[in-house]
Amino acid sequence: MSGPREDSALSPVRAVERACTLMSAFTLAEPALTLGELAERVGLPKPTAYRIASSLVQSGFMTQSEDGRYALGSKLMELGAIVREQLDLVQVCGPVLQALASATGETVLLGQPDWATAEIVVVARRDSAHALSILSPVGRRSPIAPGSLGQALLSGMAPAERRAFAERLGTTRDAGGRRRSPAAFLRELEEAAARGYALVADGYLDGVSGVAVPVLSEGTRPLGTIGIVGPTTRLHDRLEQFGALLVRETAAL
Q: In whole angstroms, what is the distance from residue 110 CA to residue 128 CA?
A: 14
**Phi then psi for 184, rounded to 5 degrees?**
-65, -40
**Phi then psi for 122, rounded to 5 degrees?**
-75, 120
Query: Residues 195-218: pLDDT tens digits?
Result: 999 998 876 677 889 999 999 777
pTM score, whole prediction: 0.64
Please say whether the dihedral angle defined by the alpha carbons of residues 136, 142, 146 and 151, taken in this order, is positive or negative. Answer: positive
Instruction: Give the model's confidence band at 85: pLDDT under 50 very low, under 70 low, under 90 confident, else very high.
Output: low
At residue 177, the 3 state secondary structure works out as coil
Instruction: Give the model's confidence band at 99: pLDDT under 50 very low, under 70 low, under 90 confident, else very high.
Output: very high
Query: Residues 223-240: pLDDT tens digits?
Result: 999 999 998 888 988 999
Has residue 145 got a pLDDT over 60?
Answer: yes
Q: In whole angstroms, what is the distance from residue 68 CA to residue 71 CA?
A: 10
pLDDT at 2: 39
Name the least confident of 62-66, 85-89, 106-110. Answer: 85-89
Q: In whole angstroms, what is the distance from residue 31 CA to residue 174 CA?
A: 52
Delineate the domains of the chain, giving CATH numbers in brackets: 2-72 (1.10.10.10), 83-250 (3.30.450.40)
- Note if the bond before 146 is cis, omega within 30 degrees: yes
